[in-house]
Structure 1
Amino acid sequence: MLYFIRKRIEENEEKILSYRGAGFIGSNLIEKIISQGDEVVVVGRHLPAECKEDDNNLKDNITFYQADVTDYEFMEQLLIKEKFDYIVLLAAVISISGTIAEPLSTHFINQEAILYIYEIIRKNKLKVKKVLFTSSSAVYGNIADTPRREDMPVSLENPYAIDKFASERYAMFYEKVYGIPTVAVRFFNVYGPRQKAQGKSAGVCAIILDCLLNDKEFRLNGDGKQTRDYMYVTDAVDATLMLLKDPQK
């Protein structure tokens, strides 16, 4: 799990902390930030694979610190020292089957680490302009109605959805009670470049593309009439940055 920080080269510009940077969405967000001429600092267990390539622009624009996502002492020192203007909370174990197999250990990442960031801000009276928490359409469960809407009832059917929804509520609580400006968003099956085609967290679009490119058989379960809402990763990144910087949101 990674964090990354956006720093403007110019004086008097904002600093943004994004909680997790090696993931599919996080690495695309890093690339967008770098394209705007900003410096990125990554803290985590390892760099995104794209950052290790010698000819990749990401590598030359990232400063890396090795630490764990649940290293709360380190995170507190970092937030106090840097005094970030904006914070994006992306970190999560996104494999639903993984959270079912390990509900406690994944809870520490999917909820406790998120809550601790809010506590650092509250206890130290840090003046952030906004915190953005990224939730998931998983909170709706398997309800039949599509497309999904924000006013639909939730159906929390696994530890991943439970932690995401609880973190949403905590985010809103910290804004209402402690005055920490917050916005929560629910990503809907994001797909695009760098999405994994293998493993427990593989995305179906990435799997289908991998099968097409490598002449492999794709197995379809059910009758083929299933529907799902999807969001392209650049749209998710653009929406994240827009909501973060818009003072009216």
Structure 2
Amino acid sequence: MGYKDIKFPEGSKFLVTGSAGFIGSNLVEAILNLGYKVRGLDNFSTGKKENVEEFLNHPNYEFVEGDIRDLETCMKACEGIDYVLNQAAWGSVPRSIEMPLFYEEVNIKGTLNMMEAARHSGVKKFVYASSSSVYGDEPNLPKREGREGNVLSPYALTKKMNEEYGKLYSKLYGLDTYGLRYFNVFGRRQNPEGAYAAVIPKFIKQLLNDEQPTINGDGKQSRDFTYIENVIEANLKACLASTNAAGQAYNIAYGGREFLIDIYTQLTSALEKEIQPHFGPERLGDIKHSNADISKAKQMLGYNPEWNFERGIEQAIEWYLKNL
């Protein structure tokens, strides 16, 4: 049943990098609720202080403010750690097209620093965030591991490089690495602000403010929107996966497919708003359709997502109504 019954050895200690971000803060909360120790690492470049404030007084939580681009910070953060959940990265395809050098530095060098620190600290499992963007221009659906196309953005390339290093670190150094290819994750604490905000929180906020949202393209692009609870499950189950499953990447999604225009209609209906969207130009580097085959993650990690889109979006809307 999901991840609530997952058991780790007593006294297990987790490091969550990017712990003040959307996915990172949810992982921190889930692990603390399970009764284990967590160290968070973040430099607040994209994460938000309010995402971690509620944990600061928790006896099992410690927070380190620092940057994964600094190897010494990574080494200190990994001291005494059993499991690393590396979520620290800069997201957004369009932003990466504007800032390729920065993405190289944070997403590739930073992740490599973390793998190196984990290796030297004798960490048991290194689980890291990859992305469905690594499929690039491969047109077939559903997306299946081992069948990738040419990447379409610097962001996608950084994630592909993370996977290559993950493979090498397992093979050369015996560090058990697991790459999780997230497909359009959504849910509580996802930031609705800014030009690069994810589409669901952005639409919700604009509709609540009676603003007209912009849909890039014709709205007929489809995504395998994945609720945050499924992602928490995948991270924790990867920590218990066998060494045979290490050095590989896995699709983490629900395995469904939603069209953007349908989601928009669903949100206007749920929020009781009658606002027509504005249709803008398509975004450079975007993939038109994405839908995941999750059979490999099910088989190798025991991943069994319980939250479909409908159930997840209800929870997300409820959270934003209370917190926006």
* TM-score above 0.5: yes
> Which amino acid counterpart does residue 31 of structure 1 have in structure 2?
E
**Which whole-Å CA distance do the structure 2 matches of 1:50 and 1:89 have between them?**
17
> Which amino acid counterpart does residue 69 of structure 1 have in structure 2?
I
CA contact (8 A) 1:15 1:86 kept: yes
Name the residue aligned to 1:37: 35
**Matching residue within 227, 232, 245 for 2:227:** 232
CA contact (8 A) 1:148 1:229 kept: no
Name the residue aligned to 1:85: 82
Q: 1:208 to 1:118 in 2, by over 3 A?
A: same
Quote the offset at 1:92 in angstroms.
Answer: 0.8
CA contact (8 A) 1:95 1:200 kept: no
CA contact (8 A) 2:16 2:41 kept: no
Q: 1:95 to 1:110 in 2, by over 3 A?
A: same
Match of 1:60, SS?
coil
Task: List runs of 5+ in structure 2 lacking aligned partners.
Answer: 1-7, 246-324
Name the residue aligned to 1:102: 99
**Which whole-Å CA distance do the structure 2 matches of 1:38 and 1:239 have between them?**
17
Match of 2:214, SS?
coil
Q: 1:41 to 1:127 in 2, by over 3 A?
A: closer
**Matching residue within 216, 221, 236 for 1:221:** 216
Match of 2:117, SS?
helix
Match of 2:129, SS?
strand
Q: 1:146 to 1:92 in 2, by over 3 A?
A: same
Quote the offset at 1:167 in angstroms.
Answer: 1.0
> Identity percentage over the alignment?
34
Task: List runs of 5+ in structure 1 lacking aligned partners.
Answer: 1-9
Q: 1:116 to 1:65 in 2, by over 3 A?
A: closer
Match of 1:220, SS?
strand
Match of 2:160, SS?
helix
CA contact (8 A) 2:129 2:180 kept: yes
CA contact (8 A) 1:192 1:232 kept: yes
Quote the offset at 1:195 in angstroms.
Answer: 1.1
Q: Deviations over 1:167-224 (max 9, x none)?
A: 1011011111221112111000101111122224311111222233232212223333
CA contact (8 A) 1:132 1:244 kept: yes
Q: Deviations over 1:58-114 (max 9, x none)?
A: 2322433332232211222343xx232111111111022222222112211101111
Q: 1:185 to 1:151 in 2, by over 3 A?
A: same
Match of 1:88, SS?
strand
Quote the offset at 1:147 in angstroms.
Answer: 2.9
Q: Deviations over 1:36-64 (max 9, x none)?
A: 12343333334631333xxx4x2322433
**Which whole-Å CA distance do the structure 2 matches of 1:143 and 1:156 have between them?**
9
> Which amino acid counterpart does residue 88 of structure 2 have in structure 1?
A
Matching of residue 116 in structure 1 with residue 108 in structure 2: no
Name the residue aligned to 2:269: none
Quote the offset at 1:20 in angstroms.
Answer: 1.5
Match of 1:245, SS?
coil
TM-score using structure 1 length: 0.83
> Which amino acid counterpart does residue 148 of structure 2 have in structure 1?
P
Matching of residue 178 in structure 1 with residue 179 in structure 2: no
Name the residue aligned to 1:160: 155
CA contact (8 A) 2:82 2:125 kept: yes
Quote the offset at 1:121 in angstroms.
Answer: 4.0
CA contact (8 A) 2:125 2:175 kept: yes
Q: CA RMSD in A?
A: 2.3
**Which whole-Å CA distance do the structure 2 matches of 1:156 and 1:11 have between them?**
39
Name the residue aligned to 1:207: 202
Quote the offset at 1:12 in angstroms.
Answer: 4.9
Q: 1:133 to 1:60 in 2, by over 3 A?
A: same
Name the residue aligned to 1:4: none
Q: 1:142 to 1:209 in 2, by over 3 A?
A: farther
TM-score using structure 2 length: 0.65
